[in-house]
Structure 1
Amino acid sequence: MEEFISRGEHEEFVRRIEDERKRTNHRLEDLEEGLRQIQDLTASVERLALSVESMAKSQGKQEERLETLEGRDGEMWRKVTGYVVTAVIGIVVGYIFTQIGM
């Protein structure tokens, strides 16, 4: 025949099972909170990546604009230098022609 356990043993068994359930529930709540934090962090990283991508595109556009502006100034400087050199050559040639009597 089977032996039955006493009421005290049964209550001790129930108490231990209940304690284990509480520990398990507490661990599960901690894991769920950790998962929520990871999900929040993932969303933040995604937003940060989009922001960095947008910033990189903007920086590329600004770089193109800067190159255009720098090129424009360089082109203007070359034109002015060309005009000055042409004027100096014209003056020298004119002076030479006046000296030889032409």
Structure 2
Amino acid sequence: MTDEEIAVKLTVLEQETKSAKHRLDDLEVQNQAIQDLALSVKELTINMTRMMEEQEKQGKDIDALKAEPAKRWKDSTKAIFNAVLGAIGTAIGGGLLYVIARSIIK
């Protein structure tokens, strides 16, 4: 092998080395972009999980708020019913006492 052939081969190897270095540099940039994207996806997943938990909590709160008027109405009707029954019971009891008192006085 002559000096000229060696020089040509060295030149070719230098060009290939430069080309490979440029490709490695590009790959490093791409690799960093992929890592950044993976971290962003991880953060997004964490945030979405928190958001879903918050939505579930808000859904339960909304259900409780929706049920409140119905509960109040039920409690009110129960109170009115008990008051009416109490009034009827009092009237019957008072009437019985009146009848008993009248029968004792005679």
Higher helix share: 2
Amino acid paired to 2:48: R
> Are 1:68 and 2:80 counterparts?
yes
Of residues 87, 91, 95, the one that matches 2:99 is: 87
Greater Cα offset, 53-62 or 79-88: 53-62
- Equivalent-residue separation in structure 2 for 1:73 and 1:38 (angstroms): 52
State the alpha-carbon separation in 2 of the partners of residues 92 and 44 from structure 1: 70
Cα deviation, residue 54, structure 1: 1.3
TM-score, with normalisation over the residues of structure 2? 0.70
Corresponding pairs, count: 90
Unpaired stretches in structure 1, ≥5 consecutive residues: 95-102
- SS of equivalent residue, structure 1 residue 6: helix
| Separation of aligned partners in 1, 2:100 and 2:45 | 81
Instruction: Please tell me whether residue 50 in structure 1 is matched to residue 62 in structure 2.
Output: yes
Residue 40 of structure 1: CA displacement? 3.6
Percentage identity across paired residues of the two chains: 3
Residue deviations 1:68-97, cap 9 Å, x none? 111111111111110011001111111xxx
| Partner SS state of residue 61, structure 1 | helix
SS where residue 42 of structure 2 aligns?
Answer: helix
What's the secondary structure of 1:35's corresponding residue?
helix
Shift of 1:48: 2.1
After superposition, what is the alpha-carbon deviation per residue over 1:38-89, rounded to whole angstroms, capped at 9, x for unaligned?
Answer: 4444333333221111112211211111111111111111111100110011
Q: What residue in structure 1 maps to residue 26 of structure 2?
A: 14
